[in-house]
Structure 1
Amino acid sequence: MLDRGHESTEGGAGDELVVPMAWLYAEYIADELLRSGDLMPPTSFEFRAGRDALALTVFLSDTDGELSGIQVVSHLETWLSLTAYDQPWQDWVRERLSEAAAGAATGDAPAPDLALARAAWRWLQETELLAPDLNAVPGGAAGTGEDEGPKVWTPAWQLGLPLGHLAIHLF
């Protein structure tokens, strides 16, 4: 979503096009991490879930507004800890989005970037993907292949988050 009538990427005001560079760069980092892990086809919904979860992590962890100059390697440990299985990632995302919205309301945060981050979060929450049931009783499934066994509808973020975490590990 691009916005007109606010600041441009150069910071000028007026009727210029606003490009959400921070969000686009976070999405680029997430895409590159997932592609380098070669975990699944980039055209799959699972890939999108992983990319959006990682992009949110990258974007929302940038508390100093340094995203465009970020050194990916120096932030991997932070992203790993945020995406770890035992962390309340979804609560962290909600809290950081609320803080960013408050900043956007006062003009301290770029609204177009925030709009794209909120759209990604909405998609991750509202979209469900059919995934293997990790809580199923071991050996209870008749088949042993990846496409066999019990499956459940899972919110996209619950599938994308561990995928993103794994991609960071493989980087």
Structure 2
Amino acid sequence: MPHRGHESTDGTGGGELAVPMAWLYAEYIADELLRTGDLMPPTSFEFRAGRDALALTVFLSDTDGELSGIRVISQLENWLALTAYDQPWRDWVRARMAERTERATGSGAPCPDLALAADAWRWLEETELLAPDLDAVPGGGPVVGEDDGPKVWTPAWRLGLPLGHLAIHLF
């Protein structure tokens, strides 16, 4: 029986299993930032939305596509800028995903990192969560509790992005 050798961690091995290390590392960073911020239960859809939005930001902001040697502290300001309320994050994600897809298609090599990022992006765009209407102006009195006030169905990325931004601030 022939020996298969070790599994590849970067997808460059001939016929070996490609492990999506860059995506897994981005997801780990996002998960840790959100857990440190203690903003919501890790089992909630809101947490997933925040983690996926933040993981996409981390993954796509790495221009080498490998997250090799990335230092979290040195990237925090960049991630804050990318996730800020007044920034076109959705357009930025779409453009970066298109660039990465084009590069992967041109190389002909499978890109498991990109596949997982695309799955996360699809979930963030297609999933809607019932959340407080942040654009509504409460009439009459202040909104006291989390359950008070109007709620709207919101794309998961619109809820996850500010949660990810806040988690970076709290780190």
State the TM-score, normalizing by the size of structure 1. 0.90
Which residue of structure 2 lines up, in the alignment, with residue 13 of structure 1?
14
Gaps of 5+ in 1: 1-6
Deviations 1:69-100 (A, max 9, x none): 11000000000000000000000000000000
For residues 92-171 of structure 1, what are the structure 2 equivalents within 5 Å?
92-107=92-107, 111-139=111-139, 144-171=144-171
Return the offset for 1:149. 1.5
- Three-state SS of the structure 2 residue aligned to 1:165 is helix
CA–CA separation in structure 2 for the residues paired with 1:9 and 1:25: 12
Q: Distance in 2 between matches of 1:34 and 1:88?
A: 22
SS class of match (2:152): strand
**Contact 2:138 2:149 (C-alpha < 8 Å) held by counterparts:** no
Instruction: Answer 1 or 2: which has greater strand percent.
Output: 1
Q: Which segment is superposed worse, 63-72 or 25-34?
A: 63-72
- CA shift, 1:107, in A, is 1.8
Q: Counterparts of 2:129 and 2:108 in 1: how far apart (Å)? A: 36
How many Å separate the matches in 2 of 1:50 and 1:152? 18
Secondary structure of the structure 2 residue equivalent to 1:147: coil
Aligned-residue offset at 1:46: 0.2
The aligned amino acid for 1:13 is: G
1:44 aligns to what? Answer: 44
SS in 2 for 1:131: strand
1:34-64 Cα offsets, whole Å, 9 max, x none, are 0000000000000000000000000000002
Counterparts of 1:159 and 1:110, CA distance in 2: 31
CA distance in 1, matches of 2:109, 2:152: 38
How many residues in Structure 1 have an aligned counterpart in Structure 2? 164
CA distance in 2, matches of 1:34, 1:131: 18
Superposition RMSD on alpha carbons, in Å?
1.8
Gaps in structure 2 of 5+ consecutive residues: 1-6
